[in-house]
Amino acid sequence: MIDAPVEPRIICAGESLVDVITVDGEERSVPGGGPMNAAVAAARLAVPTAFVGRVSTDEAGDTIWAHLEHAGVDLRAAQRGPEPTARAVVTTAPVQSFRFEGDGTADASMTAVDLGPLGPGPHILHAGTLGIFRGTTAGVLAGLLPTFDGLVSFDPNIRPQVFPSRERWLAVADPWLERADVIKASDEDLDWMGTDSASLLDRGVGVVLRTVGPDGVEVHLADGATLSVPAATVEVADTVGAGDSFSGAVLSQLLLDGVVTRPALDRVGADRWRSIVEFGVRAAAVTVGRLGADPPWAAELA
């Protein structure tokens, strides 16, 4: 367990699981889960980062826990439980597909959370993907929002194969969409949600980072400014964890700049946003060049 000092940090809240990646008929199991990947990405970039979620005590859970510890993630607000580890089965060829196996798993079984060990903050809270939707974990994480006084980042990272309906997902996600200061979403996410960047900004979001397929990222700011950052040219091994690496890298830059509250976010100008997003794109480019969610370490982006 990391004996971390009390300081502002990125808190990634939600699921951890195992990604089972099938390439050319061969299976490979690696730690995964959107929020856990983002926590590893930020921690590898040498910024204070914590993970809040429930990790199984089974063999796969032990691997996930060790993976987080090795990256330097603060686990004082995480918990362990006897429920099994969820599995996301990803096939990359001939086309990428996704299948989720997660009935009664640890990631969906949180009953409480205490951020007290992480200090008073303000911190950056990042969530999304499956954790905000599934089981008792959904309510526990939503309960953080009314009193959280730091920056809130949200990545919907839609998984239609897991969510029973758009309407039910929106009902659970609405508190996050209402509270979020930063939203990172793909074109596919926004289309499935039935919204767009302008509508999210109208709800009070401070910045929308819209990933546009292989073309890069559009940055939409609350003051009406918009800018585009092209994607990096890289040979793709798979895209697992690329968006999470991007999120972790972007949040790492905000934390290093001391941007941990909404007023501070609103003072970040377009030029700085360009450099922040360029850094995130570089991090994602490293990740897509290797199998599984394997974000870069700080030295790789120096």
pLDDT in tens, 205-216: 999 999 997 789
In this prediction, what percent of the chain has a pLDDT beyond 90?
A: 77
* Prior bond of 122 cis (ω within 30°): yes
CB 229 within 8 A of CB 271: no
Average pLDDT of the chain? 92
Give the E-state strand segments of 102-166 in sequence order: 124-128, 151-155
Position 125 confidence tier, pLDDT thresholds 50, 70, 90? very high
Read off the pLDDT of residues 246-258 as tens digits, 9 standing for 90 and up: 999 999 999 999 9
Q: Where are the beta strands (DSSP E) in 33-101?
A: 49-52, 54-56, 79-81, 87-91, 97-101
With cut-offs at 50, 70 and 90, classify the pLDDT of residue 3.
Answer: low
> CA 249, CA 281: separation in Å to the nearest integer?
8
Q: DSSP code of 15?
A: -
Q: What pLDDT does 213 receive? A: 76
- Give me the amino acid identity at 283: A
> 10-52: per-residue pLDDT in tens?
999 999 999 887 767 778 888 999 999 999 999 999 999 999 9
Going by pLDDT thresholds of 50, 70 and 90, the confidence category of residue 96 is low
Q: pLDDT at residue 302 above 60?
A: yes
Over residues 93-99, the mean pLDDT reads 68
The interaxial angle of helices 166-179 and 135-142, nearest 10 deg, is 30
Domains of the chain, each with CATH number or no CATH:
10-292 (3.40.1190.20)
